[in-house]
Structure 1
C-alpha cells in the first residue's frame, strides 16, 4: 500500500525502480512527544545491494496547516540519522567511506483548507536568498488529499486513490455516489486490501452516526466482501437515508414543541400587559405593578405612553 501511494502520486524516475520486496517497515515512531496528539509517522527502509534509502512519511492529523512542518521534519530526520550513527560500529562510522542513508521526507495531509506551509526547509530561514549556497535545505513530498480531482483519483483505480477520494471534504449525501463510482475498483481488491478499506471506511463514517446507526453500519460492513460491493453500498445508502429521515422527523418535532412554547410565552406576556394596563388606569404605582405582573419599568412606562396617546 505504501508503494502504491508513492507510485500513484510521485512523478519521478526513481519511483519505477522500487520493488515491494525491497521495502522494510521500520516499527518505530520518531514523532516527538510534544506533537504526538496531532500527527503520526510511517517509516520504510528501501534495502538494495547498492543503496539504502529511508522514506519518512508524516501523517498530519489536524485540520489546520502547521507552518513548522519543515522544521519538525528536520528534527525527525536528524533523530533517524543519530540512531543510525549510534548503531554503527565506531570503526565503520569513522571510515572514509561511511555514508548516512538519504531520507525522503513526505507529508500526507487531509485537512479541508489548502496546504500553505513552506515546501522546502530553507524557506523557514531568514534571508535565505542571500546565503543560498551555504544553507541546509530539503524539499518534502506533499500528498494533499483534497488537492486531487475526482477524475484523477477514479482514473488511478487503486486502493490508495479510493481512500483519498472518500477522505476528501464532501457532503454526507455525496458518499454513496463516490462509492458507486469506485465499485469496479473495490471488486478488484484482494480480501486483505478490502479489509483495510473497510476498516478505514468505518473510521470515516461511524463518527458521524448516532450510536444505534453506528452499530448497524458495523454489522453489514463486517460482513462485506469484494464480490458483493453493490450490496454493501446499497445497505449504506439505506442506512444514511434512514438516519436523515429520523433527523428530519426529530427536527419537525422539536420545531412543533418550540412553536408551542413560544405561543405560551407570547400569551403569558399579553396577559401580563393587559393586567398592567388595567392597574395603570386605576393609578396604581409602578412598583406595585412590577410586583404584580413581573414586567420591567421600561415596559410599564411604554404601556403608560400608549394609554396617554
Structure 2
C-alpha cells in the first residue's frame, strides 16, 4: 500500500498531465522563453534518463514542443531529497547529451534540438550552484578566450521551499502540487494538516468533480506516504474535516486511512523479518571475507567479492589473519 517513492509518483502523476504542465510553463517560465514556445504543441515523451542508483533522489519528465518554430524539448528534473546536490548542473548536462544522442541515433541527423532544462527542488537547505561553470573553481577569473573552450550553461531553478503562498500560482491542481511539495519537508504535522485543508479548498474550484476526487486520492496517498510527521490524531482530524468540507472525497479518505492503519499493524513484523534477513546476509559476507583472507587473496580481490564497506573488510581481514 505504502508508495515506495511517493515523491516520484506525485511528480509524474501531476506534472505528467499535459494540462498541468502547460499551466506550469505559462505561470513560471520567463516571458522571453515563453515567446518562442508554442505550448499547444506540448507532447509528453516516454523517455527517462535517471539511472537506478539515483531514482530514490531524482525524477524526470521530457516534453517535446515547438521552440522557435523548430522541434525542441523541455526537460524537467525533480530533486526530492531534503538537501540539494552540488553536481546537478553536471547531471543535467549528461542527460541533455543523452537526449541529443538519442535524437542523432534515431533520425540520423546532426542538427541538435533546443533543450530547456528546468529543475524543481523542495528541500530545506538553500540552493547555490545554478550554472555548470560554478562547479569549476575560479572559472569566472579565466580569460574569456579560455572560457570559450569550456562548456557552461544555466538552468531554470524552482526552489519551492522559498515560495510564499502568493507566489504559488496556476490552476487548482498545480497550486496543490506546488504547495504540498513545499510543505512536505518544511511544515510540522499541524502545518501539514493546514496545507491539506487548503488543498481541499483548491479542489472545490474544479468544475470536473470526478477529476477533483481522483486527484484528492493522489494527494492523500502522497501525504500519507511522504509526510513523516503526521500522527494518528492528525489523520483522525483530517478524516472528520473532510467529511464535512469535502464529502465527495470522504469515502476515499477513509479507505486510504484504513489501508495505512492495516499496513502499520504489519510493519513491525515485516521490519523484524527484514532485520533478520539482513543479519543473516551480513554474517555470510563476513564468513566469506574470512575464508578468502585465509586463502591468500589480495585485499582488492576480497573487497570486490563482497558487499561490505572497504574499512570493514580490512578490519575483518586483519582479525582473520591474526
Query: Same fold by TM-score, threshold 0.5 exceeded?
Result: yes
Aligned match for 2:132, one of 116, 121, 133:
121
- Aligned-residue Cα RMSD (Å) equals 3.7
Q: 2:118 maps to what in 1? A: 106
Contact 2:193-2:234 at 8 Å conserved across structures? no
| Partner secondary structure for residue 165 of structure 1 | helix
Q: 1:188 maps to what in 2? A: 205
1:272-307 deviation digits (Å, cap 9, x = unpaired): xxxxxxxxxxxxxxxxxxxxxxxxxxxxxxxxxxxx
Equivalent positions of 1:231-246 (< 5 A) are 231=247
Equivalent positions of 1:134-213 (< 5 A) are 134-153=149-168, 156=170, 158-167=172-181, 168=183, 169-189=186-206, 190=208, 191-192=210-211, 195-207=214-226, 208=228
Contact 1:187-1:229 at 8 Å conserved across structures? no
Q: 1:51 maps to what in 2? A: 70
Q: 1:68 maps to what in 2? A: 87
Q: 2:300 maps to what in 1? A: none
Equivalent positions of 1:224-303 (< 5 A) are 229-231=245-247
Instruction: Kindly name which structure, 1 or 2, has the bigger radius of gyration based on alpha carbons.
Output: 1
Give me the whole-angstrom Cα distance separating, in 1, the residues matched to 2:27 and 2:162.
14
Rate the CA distance shift 1:76–1:187 in 2: closer, same or farther, 3 A: same
Of 129-138 and 182-191, deviating more is 182-191
Rate the CA distance shift 1:21–1:157 in 2: closer, same or farther, 3 A: closer
How far is the alpha carbon of 1:233 from its aligned partner? 9.1
Rate the CA distance shift 1:41–1:158 in 2: closer, same or farther, 3 A: same
Structure of higher RCO (CA pairs closer than 8 Å, 6+ residues apart)? 2
How far is the alpha carbon of 1:59 from its aligned partner? 1.2
Give me the whole-angstrom Cα distance separating, in 2, the residues matched to 1:213 and 1:182.
16
How far is the alpha carbon of 1:53 from its aligned partner? 1.3
Q: What is the count of residue pairs matched by the alignment?
A: 224
Give ranges in structure 2 of 5+ residues lacking alignment.
Answer: 1-19, 258-322
Give me the whole-angstrom Cα distance separating, in 2, the residues matched to 1:7 and 1:211.
39
Give ranges in structure 1 of 5+ residues lacking alignment.
Answer: 241-309
Q: 1:39 maps to what in 2? A: 58
